[in-house]
């Protein structure tokens, strides 16, 4: 096992201890009892749960998407009711630490609002009579349904939709963590072509998830969830490690100084040890750091101070920096010179228009001119036809990438492609 891989596993083990767990309960099984220490809140994924008081009186019947035992997220102490699985159940268990972990990763204003509401809820409960300090908002949904009929509004539907989204997200997050542990992620490679002589000069590393049941899953389906949780850091590290592992063999096959261009989510900028971590990974593998490029998107530059500090440190370790999907984010051309960027990647949405739309051509020409004024090289993404290639060449872009040359392919296919090209 690579050193980095065992680190990923260590991280995972420590994270899993505090993170949402998933557990099945049999019909009739006790989930928690009165007077037990509160350790988790629960979200019902499947099945039904009854909340009962000490006299076996049912206080609430809950179903999929509902949360109970949530006081565990708010304060320590003992349970004040019993929770029993009234059917076979699948539950997510969430600890207090998880909630605060999650809150560190969201918008600070929302985090502040949640903290205030939690505190207010806690203070209000202190003044409630004991009889209603139960573990669940008893049949809240039923009460709201009644009110809905009277007012002709649909808050229940809204709540249920949000519950469904939240549940799906929680489920994907769980699956991603398990997939890292089971090593289901691999890099695919898409060639980047030098347009002056049509040679492969590098590849972009693109993550793929091979799930035993669902088959290959594309990043658009899981990167957003990975970015909202703190999983992206592990996936990006893994792709960098894999890139460092495969690069020497690809260079050997092509007999050139190929580079690999690795995606780095802007979320990583919050990690103050990012550049040391990346430096260590590259050093371990004995490759030249200038043969690694990091691709960051425009949105990663929104917090300009944070981005400038992170990029300057990365630049100092000698890696190349590419600005990805250029033109799709907050495109102020004026900020470009502020950041230590070497390459500009023009988003494929512009390239896809060029054969039908004069405006598309003008935009690319303007971007390429600007980039050249700042001494940046330009990669045009999404070249799909000979005609696209021709126009892109005329506009002065140095490099091209797209299905016209090759879709992203496995390492073995990349080796074969290099053999064919050289």
CA distance 274 to 332: 26
Q: Specify the DSSP class assigned to residue 290.
A: G
Q: Specify the DSSP class assigned to residue 156.
A: H
Number of other CB atoms surrounding residue 395 within 10 Å: 19
The three-state secondary structure class of 400 is: strand
CA–CA distances in Å: residue 312 to residues 93, 100, 303, 309 = 41, 31, 14, 5
CA distance 294 to 409: 19
Q: Specify the DSSP class assigned to residue 47.
A: S
Q: Give the residue among 238, 298, 252, 188 at the shortest CA–CA distance from 422.
A: 252
Among Ca ion, ligand C2E, none, partner that 358 touches (CB below 5 to 8 angstroms by kind): none
Among Ca ion, ligand C2E, none, partner that 223 touches (CB below 5 to 8 angstroms by kind): ligand C2E
Which of 177, 348 has the CB closer to ligand C2E?
348
Q: Which of residues 152-191 bind ligand C2E (CB under 6 A)?
A: 190
Which of 241, 381 has the CB closer to Ca ion?
381
Q: Which of 56, 107, 150, 220 binds ligand C2E (CB under 6 A)?
A: 220
The three-state secondary structure class of 292 is: strand
Which x/- pattern over 269-308 shows residues binding ligand C2E (rule: CB under 6 A)? --------------------------x-------------
**H helix or E strand, kind and range, residue 48:** none
Q: Which of 8, 200, 207, 322 binds ligand C2E (CB under 6 A)?
A: 207
Q: Which of residues 72-131 bind Ca ion (CB under 5 A)?
A: none
Q: Answer yes or no whether residue 408 interacts with ligand C2E by CB under 6 A.
A: yes
CA distance 326 to 312: 20
280 is written with which tokens?
């260590």
Which of 44, 351 has the CB closer to Ca ion?
351
Minimum separation from the CB atom of position 51 to ligand C2E (A): 42
Minimum separation from the CB atom of position 333 to Ca ion (A): 18
Q: Answer yes or no whether residue 324 interacts with Ca ion by CB under 5 A.
A: yes
Minimum separation from the CB atom of position 324 to Ca ion (A): 4
CB-based contact 313:274 (threshold 8 Å): yes
Interacting residues with Ca ion (CB under 5 A): 263, 295, 324-325, 381
Q: Under the rule (CB under 6 A), what is the footprint of ligand C2E?
A: 190, 206-207, 218-220, 223, 232, 235-236, 239, 263, 265, 295, 324-325, 348, 382-384, 401-403, 408
């Amino acid at each position: 096992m690579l050193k980095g891989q065992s680190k990923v596993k260590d991280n995972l083990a420590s994270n899993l201890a505090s993170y949402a767990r998933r557990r099945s309960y049999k019909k009739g099984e006790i989930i928690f009892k009165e007077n037990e220490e509160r350790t988790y809140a629960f979200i019902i994924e499947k099945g039904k749960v009854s909340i009962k008081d000490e006299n076996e009186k049912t206080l609430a019947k809950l179903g999929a998407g509902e949360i109970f035992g949530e006081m565990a997220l708010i304060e320590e102490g003992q349970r004040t009711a019993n929770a029993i699985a009234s059917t076979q159940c699948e539950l997510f268990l969430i600890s207090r630490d998880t909630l605060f972990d999650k809150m560190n990763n969201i918008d600070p204003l929302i985090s502040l609002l949640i903290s205030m509401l939690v505190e207010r809820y806690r203070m209000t409960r202190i003044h409630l009579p004991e009889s209603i300090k139960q573990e669940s908002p008893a049949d809240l949904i039923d009460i709201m349904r009644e009110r809905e009929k009277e007012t002709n509004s649909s808050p229940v539907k809204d709540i249920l939709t949000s519950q469904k989204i939240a549940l799906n997200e929680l489920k994907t997050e769980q699956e991603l963590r398990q997939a890292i542990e089971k090593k289901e992620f691999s890099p695919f490679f898409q060639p980047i072509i030098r347009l002056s002589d049509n040679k492969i000069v590098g590849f972009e590393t693109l993550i793929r998830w091979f799930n035993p049941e669902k088959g290959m899953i594309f990043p658009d389906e899981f990167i957003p969830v990975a970015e909202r949780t703190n999983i992206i850091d592990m996936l990006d590290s893994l792709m960098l490690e894999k890139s460092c592992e495969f690069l020497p063999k690809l260079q050997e096959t092509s007999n050139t100084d190929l580079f690999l261009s690795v995606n780095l989510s802007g979320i990583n900028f919050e990690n103050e040890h990012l550049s040391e971590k990346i430096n260590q990974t590259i050093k371990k593998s004995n490759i030249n750091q200038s043969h690694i490029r990091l691709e960051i998107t425009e949105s990663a530059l929104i917090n300009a101070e944070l981005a400038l500090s992170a990029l300057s440190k990365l630049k100092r370790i000698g890696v190349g920096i590419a600005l990805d999907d250029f033109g799709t984010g907050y495109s102020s051309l004026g900020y470009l010179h502020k950041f230590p960027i070497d390459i500009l990647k023009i988003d494929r949405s512009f390239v896809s228009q060029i054969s039908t739309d004069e405006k598309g051509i003008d935009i690319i020409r303007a971007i390429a001119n600007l980039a050249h004024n700042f001494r940046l090289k330009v990669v045009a993404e999404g070249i799909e036809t000979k005609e696209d290639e021709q126009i892109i060449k005329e506009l002065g872009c140095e490099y091209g990438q797209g299905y016209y040359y090759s879709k992203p392919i496995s390492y073995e296919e990349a080796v074969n492609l290099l053999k064919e090209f050289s």
